Amino acid sequence: MNVLSSDLLSRVEAAFSKNGALAANIENYRARQGQLIMAQAVLKAIQTHSTAVIEAGTGTGKTFAYLVPALLAGGKVLISTASKNLQDQLFTKDLPYVRDALRAPVSVALLKGRSNYLCHFHMERIAADGRLASKEQVHQLQEIRRFSKESLTGDKSLCAQVPEEAPIWSKVTSTAENCLGSECPYFQDCFVMKARKTALQSEVAVINHHLFFADAALRSEGIAELLPTCNTIIFDEAHQIPDIATHFFGQTITLRQGLELSRDVIATSLAIARDAQTARDTAQALEKSLRDCRLLRIETNACIAQEQLLEDSRFTAAIHDVIEKLEALGKQLEVLRERDILLSQLFTRTLKLKEALEQWLLAELSENVRWLDVMPNNLAFAQAPLTISDKLQALRETMPAAWVLTSATLSVNGDFSHFLTQTGLQDTHTISLPSPFDYAQQALLYVPTGLPAPNHSDFTLLLTEHCLPLILALEGRTFFLCTSLRAMDRVVAKLRDLLKEAGSSIQVLAQGENSRSAMLEIFRNHPSSVLVGSASFWEGVDVRGNGLSMVIIDKLPFSPPDDPLFAARLKAVRKAGGNPFVEVQLPQAAIALKQGAGRLIRDPADHGLLVIGDARLAEKPYGKLLWSGLPPFNRTRLLKEAQNFAQELKKRIDTPAINPI
């Protein structure tokens, strides 16, 4: 190591010492050995322009561990996260804390996807159109217009008067399809362009994985990239990279896109080209054709492989009918496109949608896996590559920066093989740092006995009944995490009935009945609650303190074998002579289970009970791998011991100084 890098290492180590910059400037900062080890590994990757994959258990303090060496080393730094919550926390709290503590004069920027920024053009267009669904939307539009005059960023999360989940936002933000780009009359005032310009000029930019891989997909097509050239790229919540990258290296088109196109053609032609009745008639015919296509699928929340769909002659005929309508509409818009930029844009959108739908039908032209997602009011024609490891490897080679990938869940008992194979980063330095929490003192893991097998028709209902005494003992304070939407619905209905019969005032919060952020806010403010959720609550959710004292997981989170992409990957492993269960299904379940279990203990002062209803965890040979991969909780299979723990925990909540666990 040369003199300069040795000096930099000393500065990094000093920052984390008991009397260092962090301890002196950040309230309640605690020096942790794992945090220092991670910071040293991050610095080494930065200095050698290499890649480091770092698993850091909850409580390690990984955010500070990568921020300190990144800021002290200097150069352009890109930090990518999976969630907007962490993105906002980094930009508004963690980065300013560390920057000020280190007295590092670096400029920072926050960059989100375009749907997060107000669009002047679409806001004014919807205001002029005057057709909104309700008085509430009229009022919200007024608030948004007021916000547009006051805001410097146009970030919708900062418009306190209108919830981020409000439907009005989809009308006043842009998409890649309907953005007018440099031809927009409001281009000079565009919030998206201002945010991008600021990110390009800043020394540290905080983005998200979706934005990073959307840009990477454009690079692979030879289109100029949005994101800047960097010295260091840090991926936090890196366990989500394989799934997110798969989405962006594939393609999804939906019926909703077609319906929006149809409505935009009708509205725009009425405003600009009233003589274009033929185009409006074709747009209406397209809308009918799209709806007919949806009516042919009676499934709900299902994934159907393309090969299976192509055997349904009625459905394939319906898709071809949609393509024919799009072709006719494209020809009519081509004649009109010179009249106005909006008509020209609609012509381009029509062509792209037609081409994408045609491409989806031609399986022989691509190695991508194709399937149909059936949703209650929509269909999505999806395709994705069987593997993204080669694409990520090629991307890594084109970006000679240091890459740091970190998360609390990247390995299976310290083995990173699954993650490295997925990402094509096999020749990479890896390190696994355990959590500093005293799990044996802070938590108990309970796996019930006497319940039927997880595939039994009444398993979910019987597990809910079994857990009722624990929920009552803790007066709520529970996450009930399910592996499927169907199981979630059954838990919600059964639990509400049981609590009513018991005369309990504990409320049940069900995923889908409100936005995720609203549900978490209610849960935090009303501890006498049980929040029942599926995939979206297994990770990225942080409830500290006594508000969350129990997490119940219904089954081991094995991916459904009927998922076409997943099934194709299993088939490919089998064809290559491998074992799909050992190489794919088991490691994925292990990582997902750690994520769900990780919701329970988020702080050194937290205490809680983890219930996993699936006896395979303790009884099957493969369950031992999952069992040993969980934090080192005390463990029991006796309901009485779990009840005693819950009762003692409730006493601690009521009188913390008198009843420590």
**The predicted structure's pLDDT at residue 300:** 79
Give the whole-angstrom CA distance, residue 657 versus residue 442.
16
C-alpha triplet 431, 436, 439: angle, nearest 5°: 115
The C-alpha atoms of residue 361 and residue 370 are separated, in whole angstroms, by 9
For residue 126, the SS3 value is helix
The label of the residue with tokens 């942790």 reads 32
Where do the DSSP E strands lie in 30-162? 51-56, 77-81, 108-110
User: What is the C-alpha separation between 659 and 649, in angstroms, rounded?
Assistant: 8
| Per-residue confidence (pLDDT) for residue 1, from 0 to 100 | 38
Rounded Cα–Cα distance for residues 279 and 325 (Å)? 10
Tokens of 137: 């939307």
Q: Between vectors from CA 254 to CA 253 and to CA 260, what angle results, nearest 5°?
A: 115
Q: What is the pTM of this model?
A: 0.90
> What is the structure's pLDDT at 637?
96
Between helix 277-295 and helix 255-272 the angle, nearest 10°, is: 160
HEC string of 186-249 equals CHHHCHHHHHHHHHHHCCEEEEEHHHHHHHHHHHHCCCCCCCCCCCEEEECCHHHHHHHHHHHC
Q: What is the 3-state secondary structure (H, E, C) of 98-121?
A: HHHHHCCCCCEEECCCHHHEECHH
Measure the CA–CA gap between 434 and 73, rounded to whole angstroms: 26
Angle in degrees, 0-180, between the axes of helices 255-272 and 341-361, rounded to the nearest 10: 160
Look at residue 76 and give its three-state secondary structure.
coil
DSSP 559: P
**pLDDT tens-place string over residues 155-192:** 998 998 998 888 899 899 998 888 888 889 999 999 99
What letter would DSSP give residue 158? G
Around Cβ 317, how many Cβ atoms within 10 Å?
A: 11
Whole-number Å distance between alpha carbons of 470 and 114:
45
Crossing angle (nearest 10°) for helices 95-102 and 62-73: 50
| C-alpha dihedral (189, 190, 192, 194), degrees to nearest 10 | -20
Place of tokens 């390009």: 200
DSSP string, 642-654: HHHHHHHHHHHHH
Closest CA to 179 of 117, 233, 103: 117
- Positions in the chain whose pLDDT score sits under 70: 1-5, 218-228, 363-366, 656-661
Q: How far apart are CA 295 and CA 448, in angstroms?
A: 43
Sheet of 402-407: strand order equals 108-110, 204-208, 77-81, 232-235, 402-407, 51-56, 429-433
Note the pLDDT of residue 362. 78
